[in-house]
A and B are shown apart, each in its own frame.
Chain A
């Protein structure tokens, strides 16, 4: 028997492996209900490890809105990531977790995460499938332990059956919990703003004012807030003056002094729904944001070189008219179908039962 097995030539084995991998990949792609918008690049998330299915998505959605993930069952992911605010915490500079404890950064939007290769303002988390561990275990957010959460879920009257349906196993593990949450978050794709419809030529055109704003935007903002996701995913010091207790940003995770006060360039999609702005939510209006860039820059050694102007000045040269134009264009990035999509709503999430 053994001899027979050995007669398979290495080349044949290699061919079979390559072909199988190719076919399996194609199969997974067909099964994945995640769809890439026509004007977006290929996502970076590894769908090969976690193809999104209807059952997985529905399970993830329910988990996302279920406070069972927090220590005292009072806070869900959706408590701070609210759909109406493009999954940020509308109007809050910082957010409170269990026992009214306050975090130290502004809740980021959850949208188009399939295109990100790092998470959090400082990029400390390297994989979407590892992301939820941070808020679940952070004492000032959901304040629980993963073990306790898994125990609660495994003892729940409905979740084991829902996991069985989605993943074929009713034993809920760290891996399956993370995959389910990822499946919901991956589906939170915002790609139906006016901008998208214009770019995809779906029967919409910019007004002359919007077109003008688009031109100004591309010149003044577009190098960091790159289309079509409106971020280049880099980390930069954009000249915010440090707070009393300075948040050093990216250097906290890289332990490199060159990364001090650098934060992830955020996407500008859905700005109309996601105020306040910046990593600490210090600006409540886009006017404040634009004024910061034109005249509010704080000098420091790690200030991004893009902001260094001649004669020792810093910032972006913007006239009042240009600021107005930019704002008009930015409004075309608001995607109201995204924040109203019933498939993402809390109301529908909890109706999903076994």
Chain B
């Protein structure tokens, strides 16, 4: 025992000397590789491309707790809350190459209640762009990351408050709540509907996977430093109720962690269109 412990001590001393040295080298090499790709895209307040998420009900701008909207099947409703994650953004150039926003900087939470959150600013290299892709929700891998990597809009205490299921580890990708006379009255008799859609496919056992990647055309948008662009993305919340599957507020007033959530997620892709590009 004594012999082995003194050996451990020796190792320990050696490690104490070696580690800082190697750590320094490691750091230096990492820095070097970052410098090489210094033209990499990053999100910033004054990027050359802005993605503007504009929430609508059909062609009517969405308002919270104000206007009444009708779904395709004629169900009337008002909306009190709308927020959704837009993450893992990438852009495809006309030459076929794909530019991926560094993942750590590619998580955004769009909140109808917070105009600043609805604008995503990117700094991207010059070129002609054919399309933009993003994930509606949070990719499976990020749903299983260590707590230390859950910062910003992924911090369940702050930026991501209300968008995380504590009892069923995972983010809520899309959350819409409101009121409708056709909704079931509920415990509080307030006729409130709630759509909290998440589920990333499970870690130890496979479950429903509602992560959706959406691709929108950019019509050969030419980007240069002198020509910044604003891409208007029209998010039509009424499309959540139709498209692939018809969703009825009366029949499905509350949808959260259920297999039915997949039916709603199937409609997500149809909610997004590019309505215009300013340049």
Contact = CB atoms under 8 A, between A and B. Distances in A.
Interface of A: 2, 5-6, 8, 13, 16-17, 19-20, 23-24, 26-27, 30, 46, 49, 117-118, 120, 123-127, 129-130, 133-134, 136-138, 145-147, 149-150, 173-175, 178-179, 252-256, 259
Nearest to A174: B157
B123 to A, nearest CB: 21
Given A5-B35, A125-B167, A134-B166, 7 more contacts: A5-B29, A5-B32, A16-B22, A24-B23, A30-B15, A149-B157, A255-B208
Contact of A2 (B8, B35, B169, B199): B35
A46 B208 CA distance: 26
Contacts of B151: 173, 175
B15 A27 contact: yes
A16 B144 CA distance: 28
A146 B151 CA distance: 13
Describe A's contact surface by its main secondary structure. Answer: helix
Interface of B: 8, 11-12, 15, 18-19, 22-23, 25-26, 28-29, 32, 35-36, 144, 146-148, 150-151, 155-158, 161, 164-169, 199, 202-205, 207-208, 257-259, 261
B52 to A, nearest CB: 28
A46 B148 CA distance: 12
Contacts of B28: 5
A145 B15 CA distance: 43
B204 A124 contact: no
A130 B166 contact: yes
The 9 closest A-B pairs by CB, nearest first: A146-B157, A5-B32, A133-B166, A124-B168, A129-B147, A134-B166, A126-B169, A174-B157, A20-B22
A174 B156 contact: yes
A118 B207 CA distance: 15
Contacts of A150: 157-158
Contacts of A125: 166-169
Nearest to B32: A5
B33 to A, nearest CB: 8
A253 B32 contact: no
B158 A124 contact: no
Most chain A CB atoms below 10 A, which of B12, B18, B29, B35? B29
Nearest to B16: A27
Given A8-B29, A127-B146, A134 B204 contact: no
Contacts of B19: 20, 23-24, 27
Contacts of A259: 205
Nearest to A149: B157
A117 B18 contact: no
7 contacts: A5-B28, A20-B26, A26-B11, A30-B8, A137-B166, A174-B155, A255-B261
Contact of A23 (B22, B157, B202, B258): B22
A26 B14 CA distance: 12
Given A16-B29, A174-B155, A254 B207 contact: yes
